[in-house]
């Protein structure tokens, strides 16, 4: 990280690793692990940005009361967060309660492709043994918002004056654009933003869900009491934003008329991903980056809250080449797009490329790779090798601009590449 020039590193704490039973005694080895990690980062001048829940919940709590499906999780999560603030808050200033809260609710409880894999039989992407897609995503989201706001209030009351840190929530955001110029598709695009972003951000800014969601979901939409609304409203120091690509939105009025209902049919939209002619299959397009448009939407709709870009990066099939020119093109385009947004007034405080190392990805394990560093899984030492993108990103962070011939090697394979000149 030091060689690359990173000033901050984002990671998550595993609730189960720190408190194996979900509540009660702290695991001393887990505590030691995170203290060592944080101390190592700080000693090298790297700010730790910590996420408290990244799709993982102690299994014992999932078995006991259904995890996020129950309001019981609120008090258990508050106690977990309290321990983290107490033990690590003297060195950690930036706390995110839940990663991709909207995707967590949809993937885990509507479509069933992420933990805990719940969905209705006729809705899910994969086979689910249990679940109700028409109600559970909304229940889980409601409990997340009540939990997040409770943790925010705890920190403000108990730790803010001495630790001076910040508590935010992370959501996933596509850039949505109408598939056609038809009025119906333009209206569907506004609904897409309301359902995917407003679902979580509107309560935190205005104290309630978007009107269009409440109208369409009806009695299946949980409601905030007056006290809960006051608790949730304003309970955020920053928004963590994960963004990768643009989707086209089609109006789908027939979905709203179906007998069964879930998030997608409530929104009555169809999302279309278009690869783009110059982009290799399996990679995200970079010719028309959408980060500025998303940031402009946030600024216009919710005010100019501080935003950290927690994830932005390029996916490639996992292979042995280090000449990831597509990732270089992507990062260059999106960072320039981000700069345009900041010049136009967006209150962005930081940017994290996803990811520093190739890792275990949520959706396809080791089949895809996002890292600036390749990790050789066939080597027992898991040796790391910098990719072309790491060298470009490092030069960018250090204010360098150059052309160079780069020799990149893994084992016996050697690739040669001429690095394009990009200005920082």
Catalytic residues: 100, 311
For residue 220, which of 61, 110, 74 has the smallest C-alpha distance?
A: 110
Q: Which residues contact 201 (CB under 8 A, 6 or more apart)?
A: 171, 239, 298, 301, 302
Length of the chain: 424
At which residue do the structure tokens 């408290």 appear? 52
Contact partners, residue 227, CB within 8 Å, separation at least 6 = none
Best CA proximity match to 315, nearest among 275, 267, 260: 275
| Structural contact between residues 118 and 48, judged by C-beta atoms closer than 8 angstroms | no
DSSP letter at 357 equals B
Closest CA to 401 of 423, 369, 416: 423
- DSSP letter for each residue of 104-130: HHHHHHTS-SSTT----TTT-SS--SS
């Amino acid at each position: 990280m030091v060689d690359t020039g990173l000033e901050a590193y984002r990671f998550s704490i595993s609730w189960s690793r720190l408190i194996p039973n979900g509540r009660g005694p702290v695991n001393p080895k887990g505590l030691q692990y995170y203290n060592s990690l944080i101390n190592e980062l700080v000693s090298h001048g790297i700010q730790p940005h910590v996420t408290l829940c990244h799709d993982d919940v102690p299994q014992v709590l999932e078995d006991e009361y259904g995890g996020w499906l129950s309001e019981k999780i609120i008090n258990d999560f508050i106690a977990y967060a309290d321990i983290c603030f107490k033990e690590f808050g003297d060195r950690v200033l930036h706390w995110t309660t839940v990663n991709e809260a909207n995707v967590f609710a949809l993937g885990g409880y509507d479509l069933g492709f992420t933990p805990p894999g719940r969905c209705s039989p006729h809705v899910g992407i994969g086979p689910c043994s249990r679940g109700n897609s028409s109600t559970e995503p909304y229940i889980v989201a409601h409990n997340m918002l009540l939990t997040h706001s409770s943790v925010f209030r705890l920190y403000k009351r108990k730790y803010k004056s001495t630790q001076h840190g910040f508590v935010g929530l992370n959501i996933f955001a596509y850039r949505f654009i109408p598939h056609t110029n038809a009025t119906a598709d333009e209206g569907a695009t506004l609904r897409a933003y309301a359902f995917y972003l407003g679902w979580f951000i509107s309560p935190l800014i205005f104290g309630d869900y978007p009107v269009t969601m409440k109208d369409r979901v009806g009695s299946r939409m949980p409601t905030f009491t007056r006290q809960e609304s006051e608790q949730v409203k304003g309970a955020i120091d920053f928004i963590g934003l994960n963004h990768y690509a643009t989707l086209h939105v089609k109006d789908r009025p027939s979905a709203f008329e179906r007998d069964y209902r879930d998030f997608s049919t409530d929104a009555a939209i169809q999302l279309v991903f278009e690869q783009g002619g110059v982009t290799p299959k399996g990679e995200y397009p970079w010719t028309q980056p959408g980060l500025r448009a998303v940031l402009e939407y946030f600024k216009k709709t919710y005010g100019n809250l501080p935003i950290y870009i927690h994830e932005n990066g390029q996916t490639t099939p996992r292979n042995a080449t280090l000449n990831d020119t597509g990732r270089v093109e992507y990062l260059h385009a999106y960072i320039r797009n981000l700069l345009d947004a900041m010049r136009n007034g967006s209150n962005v405080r930081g940017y994290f490329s996803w990811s520093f190392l190739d890792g275990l990805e949520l959706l396809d394990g080791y089949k895809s790779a996002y890292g600036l560093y390749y990790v050789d899984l066939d080597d027992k030492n898991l040796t790391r090798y910098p990719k072309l993108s790491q060298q470009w990103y490092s030069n960018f962070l250090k204010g360098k601009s150059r052309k160079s011939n780069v020799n990149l090697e893994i084992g016996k394979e050697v690739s040669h590449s001429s690095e394009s000149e990009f200005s920082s």
